[in-house]
Amino acid sequence: MNFILQDGIALQMKAFSDGFNEVFPLKKLAAFTPSEARMMICGEQFPHWSREDIISYTEPKLGYNKDSPGFQRFVNVLLSMSGDERKAFLQFTTGCSSLPPGDLQTYIPD
- Domain count of the fold of the chain: 2
In a domain, 56, yes or no: yes
Q: Encode pLDDT of 2-56 as tens digits.
A: 777 777 888 998 999 899 899 888 888 889 898 888 777 776 678 888 999 899 9
* 41 found inside a domain: no
Q: Whole-angstrom Cα distance, residue 49 to residue 69?
A: 20
Burial class (CB in 10 A: 0-12, 13-18, 19+), 86: buried
- Domain presence at residue 40: no
**Exposure string (b/e) for 23-55, b if CB count within 10 Å is 16 or more?**
eeeeeeeeeeeeeeeeeeeebbeebebeeebbe
Same-domain pairing of 21 and 55 = no
What pLDDT shows up at residue 36?
84
**Which residue segment(s) compose the domain that 95 sits in?**
51-106
Q: Find the mean pLDDT for residues 93-107.
A: 73
3-state secondary structure 49-61: CCHHHHHHHCCCC
Judge whether 42 lies within some domain: no
Q: What is the rounded average pLDDT of the residues 73-96? A: 92
- Considering the domain architecture, whether residues 66 and 101 belong to the same structural domain is answered as yes
Residue 102 above 70 pLDDT? no
Instruction: Assess if residue 83 is contained within a domain.
Output: yes
